[in-house]
Amino acid sequence: MRRQNAVPGGFTLLEVLVSMAILAVVIAAVYEAFISNVSSVKAARQGELVNQTARIILERVSEDLVCAVVEAAGKPDTVKLGLLCEDSEEDGHPADRINFTSFSHLNRPGSGPVTDLCEIGYSLEKNPDGKGFILYRRDSAPPDGDFLNGGRKLQLARNIGSLNFRFEDSEGEGVGAWDTLTGENRGALPSLVTVEITVLDDEEKEHFFVTSIHPALSSRGEGE
């Protein structure tokens, strides 16, 4: 009986190398697509967090400044009202400090008699982690003889790159600082306040945001 020759099986070395090369190309393409998708998701989340931080800050500052007050009928002589903003820098970044009196007190339950009139301050302090600044909001009620100090200072946001205030008087002239206690702005609110901030993402890239506020009791606000 004739024995039938067996058909050779398996792959040649060339076939194995070609298959491995094709597999490597496919895996590299899938990996690149995966990394790109992960990066896109991460960037979107960072952008959402940065936008949310800026929105919270600008809404809070706007609500406080629109209710700013520097004069009040029947005010005791021991109570001082006003608005003072210092045009300053820190580490080459705008880091303005602003203090003013306003009808926008954030009252805590059990913190005593409720009053809307208060002292408010915004300031930046260097982040101990080394990434930008921390933005603090100071709230003190009722006002006393020094509206620049006192009250509770609470952290409003971290990873702030800069904070800048700009002002316009009743004639529309722009200035970088404001003082209702002395000088030509004595006893007068600005007609427009522009607030500019930058917020840092995880890669320390700055994102710029701006808003403008008309204080309700300014000369322009009263005439509108």
- pLDDT at residue 224, rounded to an integer: 45
Q: Please determine, for residue 133, whether its predicted confidence score (pLDDT) is greater than 90.
A: yes
**Euclidean distance between CA atoms 93 and 121, whole angstroms:** 19
Q: Which pLDDT tens digit goes with each residue over 97-123?
A: 999 999 998 876 655 556 789 999 999
**Closest residue by Cα to residue 164 from 212, 97, 218, 100:** 97
Q: Which two tokens stand for residue 115?
A: 């009053």
Q: Which two tokens stand for residue 40?
A: 């896109």
**Closest residue by Cα to residue 99 from 57, 61, 55:** 61
Q: Residue 176 in contact with residue 208, Cβ under 8 Å?
A: no
Which pTM value belongs to this model?
0.78
Q: Please determine, for residue 29, whether its predicted confidence score (pLDDT) is greater than 80.
A: yes
137 CB-contact burial (10 Å; exposed 0-12 / middle 13-18 / buried 19+): buried
Instruction: State the pLDDT confidence band at 220, using cuts at 50, 70 and 90.
Output: low
Q: Which two tokens stand for residue 144?
A: 């006393």
88 CB-contact burial (10 Å; exposed 0-12 / middle 13-18 / buried 19+): middle
Q: Which pLDDT tens digit goes with each residue over 42-73?
A: 777 778 899 999 999 999 999 999 999 998 77
